Every structure is written in structure tokens, then in C-alpha cells.
């Protein structure tokens, strides 16, 4: 059991590339922290620095009460599970599971006891005499997991452990991992580029982009209150819509005037809009917060648009639209909504759930931050 603490951690590779630019992350004992972000954002580098497989260029990493900057990987009391499983091909499942305990000179009886407990837990006890190549991908993944668990480490580090599994198995294994964490309560740091994995597994999630941590919070808080446009667009499928326009006022209330001319009256603010009036900004609205009927008290908040594509998905209907000024957006509607392709419609925005962002890839969400 251990907390893990990163303070101003940086990684500059030998070629001068800064892969992690000052990461601060405080992971509580027993917490399941997911680090999520697109490929190349520095997730693996961060995890490998925690594991000690990669030297850190600056900052401090603490595991438990110990600064581990100069502690070799084998003495950090952590276990890492990799995407490719990294099993020993010439060893049986039993030998793979027992290997680290044998190295640490555990008595034979203790090794046997621990291995069978873990094999039972992961439902691989009938596979113990097989070699990895005789197992399915899902079973290999369990052995890799089992190898980490037998050691009873202070923390687990996972690097995209499910990404080699097919879609269906990924979803069931994800649920099993969550149940396993509830049972073992071992501090876990889990890296993935998959936002659904992040949302479902994390007690908190840490969104990374471009070598920088963007936001750390419980999944629904990140979803509902993204600190910037990158985070807002990264979580959610279909993603949040971003439409251009400017902040202004209408009849004394703050308003967003879309480049198309449509006017959206915003909630009265705590003054956070005042420095942005008449400036080019972005309004962000999730597909599920658009409707064909105006919401109570929001009858004027419509965007005129043309329907390009309608996708009936059973549980919902995704509708692809183009506004008057050719801004594209997607609405996620009730599956029984009547809406026809090539028709002109008005889509209504729920302003209570929309956000105003500064322009730019990581433009700040000014709706949630009072200034």
C-alpha cells in the first residue's frame, strides 16, 4: 500500500525532446488513477519514470514515504503490467507466476500457496501447466496480471494492458479489473489512450496532452467541467461540438453570437465573461445537449442548420448538421425523433450545459472559471 507523488517531474530525452514538461500528480493510497491522452502525449514516459525504467530529468518521485529518484526499479516495490504481456515463453504459467517469488527466495510452499491463490482469483488454475503460446490473448493477459499480483506490491502500474484484446474481451476484462481493484485495493496507475477505459476504471483521471497534465479529477467532473477545450473534446463520443462566434450581450444578459448570426442567450454569469466581451470565442456543446424542441425558458437558443446525415443507432440517433455559416456539428437525439436528411431544422442548445472557451487547441473554459 502506498501513495505515489510526482513533483515537477520532467523528461527530456537525449535527442532534446521534452516528453514530460513538469508533471505534478498526487495519487492517494489505494486509489485507481488513470492517465489518459492521445498517442505520444507522454503517458508511457511518465509511467516508466515511476517504475524507474526511465531516468527523470528533473523533479521528485515519491512512493510511500520514500523519494525513489535514485532507487533501482527492483527495489521500488511496484509491479508493472505491459501491453504485450512480456511473459517468458519457455516457462509454464506456473513458472511465470512463480518467477519473481523464486528470485526473492520465497520458500517453495509459500510460492505454491500464493500462485494458486492468484490463479484461483483470475480463473487460470486449469492453465498452470501450459506454456503462454497455448493460451488465448485474454488468458495471457490474466497471467501477466497474476504475475504482478503474486508479488503483493505497493502499487500496480499498467501500460495499456487491454489494447491487444478484441473489443468484446476488452470490455469484460475492464470490468474484471475494476472488481479486482475493489478486492485488492492496491494503488494503481493505469495508462490508456481509450477514454471509455479511463472513465470506467478511474477513481480519478489525469488527462495529458503534449507532455502536460491538463486536468486531474473524478471522471464525471472532467466530463461535466472540462478545464479547457482539449479536455472537452477528448472525452465523449461523438465528441463535444465547437462553434465559432463572439461573446456579447443581449437585453442586458450575456449572449453568444454565432458566426451564423444565431444568438444564444447565456446564463447570467458571476462576471467571468466581462473581460471577453466582443472577442472571438468558441461555444462548446455536447451532442446530447442539443434538441429539436426548445427547452423550457430557452426558446430563442436555436441554431438553424441543414441535416446532412442521420444515423439510427438503436439506443439513439446521431444527426450530422451544417449551420448557415457552414459550421459542422452533431446532435445525439432520442432514437424515435423524426428528422429527415436534407431538411432545414433548428437545433436548440441547453445553455446550462454549454461552455465558452478561449480560442486555440487548449483554450481555457471561461464558463467554469470565475476570474
Ligand X SMILES: Nc1ncnc2c1ncn2[C@@H]1O[C@H](COP(=O)(O)OP(=O)(O)O)[C@@H](O)[C@H]1O
The 137-176 contact track toward ligand X, x by CB under 6 A, reads ----------------------------------------
Task: List the one residue from 9, 19, 80, 307 that touches ligand X (CB under 6 A).
Answer: 19
The single residue listed with the C-alpha cell 492517494 is 28
Q: Yes or no: say if 229 and 209 are a contact pair by the CB < 8 Å rule.
A: no
Number of other residues whose CB lies within 10 A of the CB of residue 209: 20
Complex with ligand X: residue 13 or 88, whichever CB lies closer: 13
Residue 281 is given by DSSP the state E
Q: Nearest distance from residue 45's CB to Mg ion, in Å? A: 8
Written as nine digits, the cell of 325 is 455559416
Complex with ligand X: residue 45 or 173, whichever CB lies closer: 45
Q: Nearest distance from residue 40's CB to ligand X, in Å? A: 4
Task: List the one residue from 1, 8, 17, 103 that touches ligand X (CB under 6 A).
Answer: 17
Q: Yes or no: say if 158 and 191 are a contact pair by the CB < 8 Å rule.
A: yes
Question: Does 218 contact ligand X by CB under 6 A?
Answer: no
Complex with Mg ion: residue 36 or 122, whichever CB lies closer: 36
Count, residues near ligand X per rule CB under 6 A: 12
Q: Nearest distance from residue 292's CB to ligand X, in Å? A: 39
Complex with ligand X: residue 82 or 276, whichever CB lies closer: 82
- Rounded Cα distance between 102 and 108, Å, is 8
Q: Which ranges of 209-319 would DSSP assign to H, the alpha helix? A: 219-224, 229-234
Complex with ligand X: residue 37 or 254, whichever CB lies closer: 37
In the list Mg ion, ligand X, none, the entry touching 327 (Cβ below 5 to 8 angstroms by class) is none
Question: Does 45 contact ligand X by CB under 6 A?
Answer: yes
Preceding amide of 154 cis, omega within 30: no
Put the strands of the sheet holding 241-250 in their side by side order: 263-265, 253-258, 241-250, 280-285, 355-357
In the list ligand X, Mg ion, none, the entry touching 45 (Cβ below 5 to 8 angstroms by class) is ligand X
DSSP calls for 118-181: HHHHTT-GGGTTS-GGGS-HHHHHHHHHHHHHHT--SEEEEESTTTTS-HHHHHHHHHHHHHHH
In the list ligand X, Mg ion, none, the entry touching 40 (Cβ below 5 to 8 angstroms by class) is ligand X
DSSP calls for 53-70: SS--SEEEEEETTEE-TT
Q: Nearest distance from residue 117's CB to ligand X, in Å? A: 32
The single residue listed with the C-alpha cell 486449469 is 126
Task: List the one residue from 23, 27, 36, 42 that touches ligand X (CB under 6 A).
Answer: 42
**Footprint on this chain of ligand X (rule: CB under 6 A):** 13, 15, 17, 19, 37, 39-45
Amino acid at each position: 500500500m502506498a501513495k505515489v507523488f510526482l513533483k515537477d517531474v520532467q523528461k527530456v530525452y537525449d535527442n532534446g525532446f521534452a516528453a514530460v514538461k513538469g508533471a505534478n500528480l498526487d495519487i492517494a493510497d489505494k486509489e485507481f488513477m488513470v492517465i489518459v491522452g492521445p498517442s505520444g502525449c507522454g503517458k508511457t514516459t511518465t509511467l516508466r519514470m515511476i517504475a524507474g525504467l526511465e531516468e527523470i530529468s528533473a523533479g521528485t518521485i515519491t512512493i510511500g514515504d520514500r523519494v525513489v529518484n535514485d532507487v533501482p526499479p527492483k527495489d521500488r516495490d511496484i509491479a508493472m503490467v505491459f501491453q504485450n504481456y512480456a511473459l517468458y515463453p519457455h516457462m509454464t504459467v506456473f513458472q511465470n507466476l512463480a518467477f519473481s517469488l523464486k528470485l526473492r527466495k520465497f520458500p517453495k510452499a509459500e510460492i505454491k500457496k500464493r500462485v494458486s491463490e492468484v490463479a484461483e482469483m483470475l480463473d487460470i488454475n486449469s492453465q498452470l501447466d501450459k506454456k503462454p503460446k497455448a493460451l488465448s490473448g485474454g488468458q495471457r493477459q490474466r497471467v501477466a496480471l497474476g504475475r504482478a499480483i503474486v508479488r503483493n506490491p505497493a502499487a500496480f502500474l499498467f501500460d495499456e494492458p487491454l489494447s491487444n484484446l478484441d473489443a468484446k474481451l476488452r470490455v469484460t476484462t475492464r470490468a474484471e479489473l475494476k472488481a479486482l481493484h475493489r478486492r485488492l485495493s492496491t494503488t494503481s496507475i493505469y495508462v490508456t489512450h481509450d477514454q471509455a477505459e479511463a472513465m470506467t476504471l478511474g477513481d480519478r483521471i489525469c488527462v495529458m496532452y503534449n507532455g502536460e497534465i491538463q486536468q486531474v479529477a473524478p471522471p464525471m467532473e472532467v466530463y461535466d467541467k472540462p478545464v479547457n477545450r482539449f479536455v472537452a473534446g477528448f472525452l465523449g463520443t461523438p465528441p463535444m461540438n465547437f462553434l465559432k462566434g463572439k461573446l456579447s450581450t443581449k437585453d442586458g444578459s450575456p449572449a453568444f453570437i454565432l458566426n451564423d448570426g444565431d444568438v444564444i442567450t447565456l446564463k447570467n454569469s458571476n462576471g467571468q465573461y466581462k473581460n471577453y466581451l466582443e472577442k472571438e470565442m468558441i461555444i462548446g456543446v455536447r451532442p446530447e445537449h442539443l434538441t429539436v424542441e426548445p427547452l423550457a425558458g430557452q426558446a430563442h437558443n436555436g441554431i438553424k442548420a441543414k441535416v446532412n446525415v442521420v444515423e439510427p443507432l438503436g439506443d439513439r440517433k446521431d444527426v450530422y448538421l451544417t449551420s448557415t455559416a457552414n459550421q459542422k456539428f452533431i446532435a445525439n437525439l432520442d432514437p424515435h425523433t423524426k428528422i429527415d436528411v436534407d431538411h432545414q431544422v433548428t437545433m436548440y442548445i441547453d445553455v446550462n450545459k454549454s461552455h465558452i472557451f478561449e480560442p486555440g487547441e487548449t483554450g481555457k473554459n471561461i464558463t467554469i472559471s470565475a476570474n
